Amino acid sequence: MSGAYARAVVRYRWALVVGWLLLALAAVGYQPPSRGSGLEGLISAENPAVQTELRSFERFGFPLMSRVAVVQHDPAGLSALTQAEAVARAAAVTQGQYPDAGPILGAIPVMNTAGWFPSSQQRDTTILTLLFMPPNVGPGTQMGAAHRFVERHFGPEDRVIGVTGTLPAQVQQGVVVGRSVHTTELVTLAAVLLIVAVAFRSAVAPFVTLITAGAAALLLLDVVGALGWLLQVAVPNEVAPLLIALLLGVVTDYVVFYLFAMRRALAKGLDRYEAARQATQDTTVIVTVAGLTVAAGTGVLVVARSPLFHAFGPGMALAVLVGLLAATTLVPALMAILGPYLFWPGGHRPGAASERDSLISRGRRTAWLVRPRNAAAVLVVGVGLLALASVPMRSLGLGMSFVASLPAENEVRQAAVAARQGFAAGVLSPTVVLVEGPGVTQQRDALARLQAMLADRPAVADVLGPSQQPLPDELGLVLSRDGAAARFLVILDTQPLGASGIEAVVQLRRDLPALLDAAGLVAATAGVGGDTAVAADIVSQTTADLRRIVVATVVVNLIMLILFLRALVAPLLLLALNVLGLAATLGLSTWFFTDVLGGDGLTFYVPFATAVLLVALGSDYNIFTVGQVWHEARRRPMRQALVLVTPASSRAVTTAAVILAVSFGLLHLIPLQPFREIAFTLAVGVVVDAVLIRSLLMPALLSLLGSASGWPSRRLRRAGSPPERQTRRRLTKLLMPQRGAVRRSMGGVRAPSRRGAVTFAEQVHRRVDRDHTAVIGHHGVGDDADP
């Protein structure tokens, strides 16, 4: 089948190129319906924290917290007139005296004066005007209304820093992505093309990569948009650039595999059509299986209950499938058309001698690695290093800080910093504790005790409630008019949406029943609302998805490896190495962002999305490298197969890994914390997989296992089999009369004078394994070639 496919692709090469050209033109003209969404789509009406907020609104008729605020700040102090104007302005908005303020329904001024916030280190420096709008108004509309309100009703003397809050931060994340994504894509593409040009010493090979990746990207955008519209599934805008980076990396990987195969075929003296046919036949099956494995491994995210993963998984799978389609059709057609000019000017006539010398050099390193003692030492040290690097993962925390992820110069973040300086770290996203029960407002002493206990909890800066009575009771701010509910505003002293803030609210939710009993609130219940409580529920749901995601990913990748290798031992152990490499990568990311940079946990979706990608891509490289080893191991012992195949495949895998690491690593150019975390984690993971696992641990492991790695299949040739022993005896008989000449020609092989011919023959045999096997493999010489 692979031979027939290769012949068909070469024969209809021009039709394939024209077909892709027409498809790209159609994609440019077609604009699919957009179903992009923000991360606010992760919050459902059934969320317990949202339900608490809804009950609070129903009980009191007015919310206690807002997700949009205007920040006024002056370190030297705001005048009494400015503070009085803030109060009057907020009252006028609430009373409807500003017709141009819509859709703002009300406003509450919060000032760090009058002792309301004992933990504040400043006094009279900051005013937060909390703005309240209908819940059916989108984040962008709310932010626009806040900016218009500032422009029309605030002056320079009011010292306005800006508009901030959770919703403005989400809007700004989309703006930052929109401003940065095209620059990031262009820089990434330029870097990838440069790597391809250097790897092949060619000015033409990068254009093949560009054409293939460009056609795939145009098709991907239309396919994802159309399928998302049909299936009512949307990939959040904030993580959509990861799809383009994944597509570019995967397409370039497969182009690199084809080009290396084409160069080897041309080095054998084949003409352009026969070289393209052979390269296509040898590479397409492996690339197809590898691509399907990555697509299946990423698509399993659909089993998650989290809306983000449920939408993101199919998007990643589509990116891989589209890239696979472009690579397996367009690249072979271009190879057949261009032939040796693919490698113009530096490598358009590949030199067999230089290629052979390079293979021999790498073959010697592989031969040293696969010796039993060396392989065991490398395996122990390598696994130990991976285990050590994975230790920090135990302290991995998850958060979803929108404001803290913005660039330092962003207005929303600057306003948030000013608000925290005037109050506390969690002032912009306070937590509402709603206490409900018959006659609860009459139990003032018990409510005061509860408020004191809340204030004494770890990570709590201030608590506003019935003890302060900041406004008259008739306004119904903290005590309901029907007497059946009271509420507290809890302000944290840490990032409210960071890992520590989420953990503090989770623990508060667990302890609330005991706190109610200790305060003496009889027959009362309590709920928690606010951004941190919502984030805690999302993180909890994401963590609960971990088991499903991990099990599904491992099972899918294991099945693909078992079917491809027709073995059980090797797939299990190779996948175990992948998982260990993943743990080490997450450990390094946790250490870097938490201990080195002082962050408060990773963004909640980063570890899971990167885990699925790294396991799938690890299986991709497994298939490419081990697949070729398996093919040779059916004809020769495992160690000889490794020496023969690893030098040729390692260069292709290393080049592909560098390209993939650059593709993901340059996501760092998008100045948002989640993209920095994704860029670091994926780049480190790809490098660890290619440099340590694929180049060292995999050959060492297979060399120690030998033919047992193919169990229960018996297709792999065993070392020391009767044909091999007979060959060694013939070699001993041949070499014994001429051991002096052989010793000199082999350059260093010593023949002990009294230890017999067998020892000498073993030395020569090892040198043949180390040197000659790579040479005959490069030239395609059969097993029975004369050394």
Q: CA-CA distances (angstroms) from residue 761 to 642, 723, 724, 743?
A: 21, 16, 13, 11
Measured CA to CA, the distance from residue 742 to residue 736 in angstroms comes to 9
| Residue linked to tokens 């990913």 | 553
pLDDT the model gives residue 454: 92
Report the pLDDT averaged over residues 758-767: 54
- The 10s digit of each residue's pLDDT in 556-597 is 888 888 888 888 999 999 889 988 999 999 999 999 999 898
Q: From residue 394, how far is each of 320, 387, 589, 613 by CA, in Å?
A: 32, 12, 12, 21
User: Which CA distances in Å does 137 have to 54, 96, 103?
Assistant: 16, 18, 8
- DSSP state letters, 250-312: HHHHHHHHHHHHHHHHHHTT--HHHHHHHHHHHHHHHHHHHHHHHHHHHHGGGG-SSHHHHHH
| Nearest of 170, 162, 96 to residue 138 by alpha carbon | 170
> Would you place residue 363 in the very low, low, confident or very high pLDDT band (cuts 50, 70, 90)?
low
Extract the runs of DSSP E, i.e. beta strands, from 105-234: 106-111, 126-132, 160-164
| Domains of the chain, each with CATH number or no CATH | 2-35+171-399+537-710 (no CATH), 68-164 (3.30.70), 722-779 (no CATH)
CA gap 139, 41 in Å, rounded: 11
The confidence score (pLDDT) of residue 295 equals 85
Looking at the predicted structure, is the pLDDT value of residue 280 above 90?
yes
Is the pLDDT at 606 greater than 90? The verdict is no
Q: Which residues contact residue 260 at a Cβ distance below 8 angstroms, ignoring those fewer than 6 apart?
A: 648, 651, 652, 655
Between 64 and 678, the more confident residue is 678
In the predicted model, is pLDDT for residue 315 greater than 80? no
Q: Kindly report the pTM of this predicted structure.
A: 0.80
**CA 166 to CA 150: how far, in whole Å?**
18
Q: What's the average model confidence in pLDDT over 182-192?
A: 87
d(CA 29, CA 109): 51
* DSSP for residue 29: H
In this prediction, residue 307 has a pLDDT band, given cuts at 50, 70 and 90, of low
Residue from 164, 174, 180, 175 nearest 127 by CA: 164
- 307 or 596, which is more confident: 596
Helix (H) or strand (E) holding 462: strand 460-464
Is residue 247 over pLDDT 50?
Answer: yes
Beta strands, E only, 477-540: 485-492, 525-530
For 101-128, what is the mean pLDDT?
80
Which residues fall within 8 angstroms of residue 28, CB to CB, at 6 or more apart?
218
End-to-end CA distance of the chain: 34
Per-residue confidence at 786, pLDDT binned at 50, 70, 90?
very low
What pLDDT is recorded for position 510?
92
Secondary structure of 666-730 in HEC code, one letter for each residue: HHHHCCCHHHHHHHHHHHHHHHHHHHHHHHHHHHHHHHHHHHHHHCCCCCCCCCCCHHHHHHHHH
199 Cβ contact partners less than 8 Å away, ≥ 6 residues apart: 205, 256, 655
Provide the pLDDT for residue 778. 40
In this structure, what token pair is assigned to residue 715? 């297709």
| Tokens representing residue 94 in the block | 């609430």
Lowest mean pLDDT among 123-127, 307-311, 727-731: 727-731
Q: How many residues does the chain have?
A: 787
Q: Would you state the torsion angle of the CA atoms of residues 690, 694, 700, 701, taken in this order, to the nearest 10 degrees? A: 130
What are 427-475's pLDDT values in tens digits? Answer: 888 899 999 988 888 888 899 999 999 999 988 988 888 876 555 554 5
User: pLDDT tier at 777 (50, 70, 90 boundaries)?
Assistant: very low
Q: Cβ of 271: how many Cβ atoms within 10 Å?
A: 12
The string of pLDDT tens digits covering residues 15-28 is: 999 999 888 888 77
Return the structure tokens found at 599: 């962050």
